[in-house]
Amino acid sequence: MSIPIFSFIFAMWILIIIGGGLMVIFIGPLSFSGDGQLDPLINSGIKVSIAMVLIFIWVIALLKIKNWIFRKITNQ
């Protein structure tokens, strides 16, 4: 019974590490050209939007994994 719970925790940590790596490798160096003083604001806004979408995807993936594992536990 504890193996599915530990696998969920393991999957959660793997997704956290992968998500952090993706943000550092791909989102960090992104640069969008703007006009004047709005350039840093536009860059930050776009990066935050991308990061929020990734966080949403990660949370949905964890919810699906959690539901699958706990459904499997309750059926045993």
Per-residue pLDDT tens over the stretch 16-71: 888 888 888 888 787 776 566 667 777 888 888 888 898 898 889 888 878 887 78
Burial 9-29 (b: 16+ CB within 10 A, else e): eeeeeebeeebeeeeeeeeee
Tokens representing 72? 């499997």
> What's the total number of domains in the chain?
1
Full domain range(s) for residue 27: 2-75
Q: What is the pTM of this model?
A: 0.66
pLDDT of residue 61: 83
